[in-house]
A = this chain, B = another copy of it.
Amino acid sequence: MNFERFYENLNKFGKIGDQKEKGISRLAFSKEYYESIEMLDEYSRSKGFETKQDKVGNLFITYNPMNADKFLLIGSHMDTVKSGGLYDGAMGVIAALEVIESLKDNNITGDSGVIAVAFNAEEGSEMGGTFGSRTICNRNNLEDPELKNKISNYNLEVKDLEDCIINFNKIVGFLELHIEQGGVLENNKMDIGVVDGIVGITRYNITIKGEANHAGTTPMNLRNDPIRSLPEVINKLFGIASKYTHPFVMTIGDIRVKPGMYNIIPSEVEILIEVRDMLQDNIDEFFDKIKKFLENEIKDFDLVCNVEKPSVLLDKEYMEIVSKSCESLGYNYQVMSSGAGHDAKEISHLVPSSLIFVPSINGISHSPKEYTTPEHLKKGINVLYQSAISIIGGK
């Protein structure tokens, strides 16, 4: 494994879209995204790899010296959020590229070829997150007329999505190296996180209703002000959430006051809530408790579920392979769940998949301040490399 080569490539391809203090913006389907994919494609061909870009902007770089008919897929996404960092996504793509370059340098061959993949649109577009990987997995609802509309904004038709679907009978599995985007590994002084599952996400909106009125002329005792109930509701949300243990997280992401002017007593307050956990039962129980509380304590309210994405368990055998790679390399690791969705979540529905985390300094991501130390990057790539060799039976 050639860390200097990896680091140079990460800084070359991963900085496309860099706006300095405003961070890196390489949005899905953007000019910057396609520029990075073209450069990666050209670099890979110059190194003797076969490459292929599909119609939704995914790039596949194939190492297959033995003309095997099965492949291990390794990679992540090349798109970023707006004003993102260098590591979220690109690090895993360039690490996958480094793995096949190292396999080639060392003439390692096995039962399967290896494909390094750069996915498009993991971070979200009109079509939602993980669109690139979702498309190759045939996990879009191709009958959805809204999808047709949305993809037409990118000059795509349903036929194009169909052309992107991969025959997963030819894929033995998937490995993804990614930054943790949280502070658990750093806090526990761990080098590597071996992910056992990706949490489910449920979102609800609570609306507390009152009556709008003139803030100057309505005496305090004649008001029906929904803000009066807000502290009790917020405290209840955090109070009930505190009964559950990690990876359970509850976030109040927004509070919307209508009409939202200094001189009008609000008519309603809406609270946007997201809960994530591995156990859907915990999530459902949490919102049941909230519902009972609202029914008992708040006269006039709405409680509406907006999103429910189930959790996903990752392959135990692959976790074992990754853990053994960490042990053989002498790295500290811990088994943990992922609080965020990733391309591995889509692919895990079809073939054994593993998600490997390296620490994020201060748990920061989606920010120009996103950082992972070179030492941890090196360890992450070594684990990815060793795990890939194990899976393909490389010699």
Residues of A within 8 A of B (CB): 180-184, 187, 199, 201, 203, 212-222, 225, 227-228, 230-232, 234-235, 238, 241-242, 246-257, 260-266, 269, 272-274, 276, 307, 338-341, 363-367
Question: Would you mind naming 9 contact pairs between A and B with Cβ atoms under 8 Å apart?
Answer: A181-B216, A181-B217, A217-B338, A218-B249, A219-B249, A220-B242, A220-B248, A253-B263, A254-B257
Q: How far is the CB of A162 from chain B (nearest CB, A)?
A: 30
Are A238 and B228 within 8 A (Cβ)? Answer: yes
Are B231 and A251 within 8 A (Cβ)? Answer: no
Q: Is the interface of A mostly helix, strand, loop or mixed?
A: mixed
With a CB–CB cut-off of 8 A, which chain B residues contact A307? 262
Are B218 and A363 within 8 A (Cβ)? Answer: yes
Are A269 and B255 within 8 A (Cβ)? Answer: yes
Cα distance A213–B180 in the bound complex, in angstroms: 12
With a CB–CB cut-off of 8 A, which chain B residues contact A365? 214, 217
Are A219 and B255 within 8 A (Cβ)? Answer: no
Residue of B nearest to A254 (CB): B260
Contact of A263 among B228, B251, B269 (CB under 8 A): B251
Are B257 and A251 within 8 A (Cβ)? Answer: no
Residue of B nearest to A365 (CB): B214
Q: Closest 4 CB pairs between A and B? A: A182-B217, A231-B231, A216-B339, A215-B251
Residue of B nearest to A186 (CB): B222
With A215-B253, A338-B217 known as contacts, the answer to whether A363 contacts B182 (CB < 8 A) is no
Cα distance A218–B249 in the bound complex, in angstroms: 8
Residue of B nearest to A234 (CB): B231
With A251-B262, A251-B263 known as contacts, the answer to whether A231 contacts B220 (CB < 8 A) is no
Residue of B nearest to A241 (CB): B220
With a CB–CB cut-off of 8 A, which chain B residues contact A266? 252-254
Q: How far is the CB of A344 from chain B (nearest CB, A)?
A: 14
With a CB–CB cut-off of 8 A, which chain B residues contact A212? 367
Cα distance A250–B263 in the bound complex, in angstroms: 10
With A234-B231, A363-B213 known as contacts, the answer to whether A274 contacts B253 (CB < 8 A) is no
With A260-B254, A262-B203, A269-B255 known as contacts, the answer to whether A182 contacts B218 (CB < 8 A) is yes
Contact of A253 among B220, B262, B363 (CB under 8 A): B262
With a CB–CB cut-off of 8 A, which chain B residues contact A248? 220
With A234-B227, A241-B220, A249-B220 known as contacts, the answer to whether A339 contacts B214 (CB < 8 A) is yes
Cα distance A219–B253 in the bound complex, in angstroms: 15
With A220-B241, A228-B238, A232-B231 known as contacts, the answer to whether A215 contacts B276 (CB < 8 A) is yes
Q: How far is the CB of A271 from chain B (nearest CB, A)?
A: 9
Cα distance A364–B213 in the bound complex, in angstroms: 6
Q: How far is the CB of A357 from chain B (nearest CB, A)?
A: 9
Are B339 and A217 within 8 A (Cβ)? Answer: yes
Are A265 and B246 within 8 A (Cβ)? Answer: no
Are B249 and A216 within 8 A (Cβ)? Answer: yes
